[in-house]
Amino acid sequence: MSQHTASTSPDASSTTQVAGHPSSATSRAAELASLKVKLRGALRQFPDFPSPGILFEDILPIFSDHSTHEALVRCLELHILETLADEKPDVIVGLEARGFLMGPSLALKLGAGFVPVRKRGKLPGPCETQGYEKEYGQDFFQMQSDAIKPGQKVIVIDDIIATGGSAYAAGELIKKMGGNVLGFVFLLELEFLHGRDKLSAPVHTLLTGQETKA
C-alpha cells in the first residue's frame, strides 16, 4: 500500500547523446521538467482509502499507458544523471511492491543489475533480515545474502516515501552486505511525515507534496 522521485553515462555534464534525446544540460533540465508535469497529471487520488482521513495516491495509471510509462523511466534516468553526476550505480534495489514496477526498467537503462527487497519469508535461500517500525507494530524486510557484493554502489527505489521505515530497512540490509548506498529515489514524497530524516544517504524525489486534484 502506498500513501502520500539508452544512456549508461554516469556524468550529468557529459555531452554523450541518448538516442532521440537532447544531450545538453539545459535541454535535459527542460525535458525533465516537462516529464514531471506529465507524471503528475497521470496520478489518481482516492480520498479515505484505505482508511478515513488518508488521501491515497494511485500511481498505477502511469503503467497502463506506454507513453507515461516511458516518461517515468526517462524521468528517473535523467534525474539520476543530474543528481549523481559521476557516480554510476552497480545495482538498483526495488522495495516491495511498487519498487518492482520501476526498478528493473531503470536498471536496464543505466546498465545496472536489479535486486528486490521482500517481506520476510518470500525469498529462498540464505537471507539478511532487517526489522522496521510501522504504524501498528514491526515488520521485516529481507534480501538474499549474496544479492549485493561488497563495494557495489546501490540506488534504492520506491514509489512514495512516507514515514521512511521500509527504505531505512533496505539501506541497512545493503550496508550489512558491504554495499554503498548512493541514494534513495522516489516518485513522490509526503514531506509532512519527515521520512527522509531516517535515511543516511541523499534522498531524491521526482515530485514533491500532494496536490489535491479537483
Give residue-wise pLDDT tens across range 138-161.
999 999 999 999 999 999 999 999
For domain 24-205, give the fold.
Rossmann fold (3.40.50)
Asked whether residue 5 carries a pLDDT value surpassing 80, the answer given is no
Q: Closest Cα to residue 142, out of 158, 129, 161?
A: 129
Residue 43 has which C-alpha cell?
A: 496520478
Q: Position of cell 510501522?
A: 134
pLDDT of residue 212: 67
- How far apart CA 139 and CA 120 sit, in angstroms, is 8
Q: What pLDDT band is residue 84 in, cutting at 50, 70 and 90? A: confident
The answer to whether 149 and 178 have CB atoms below 8 angstroms apart is: yes
What is the spatial distance between Cα 101 and Cα 208, in angstroms, rounded to a whole number?
20
The reported pLDDT for the residue numbered 21 is 47
Higher pLDDT, 6 or 71: 71
DSSP three-state, residue 136: coil
Backbone dihedral angles phi then psi of residue 183, each to the nearest 5 degrees: 175, 170
The pLDDT score that the predictor gives to residue 54 is 87
Q: What are phi and psi of 144, to 5 degrees?
A: -60, 140
**DSSP H helical ranges for the chain:** 25-42, 60-64, 66-84, 99-110, 165-176
Q: Is the pLDDT of residue 40 over 60?
A: yes
The more confidently predicted of residues 28 and 107 is 107
Q: 114: Cβ–Cβ under 8 A, 6 or more apart, which residues?
A: 91, 92, 93, 94, 103, 104, 107
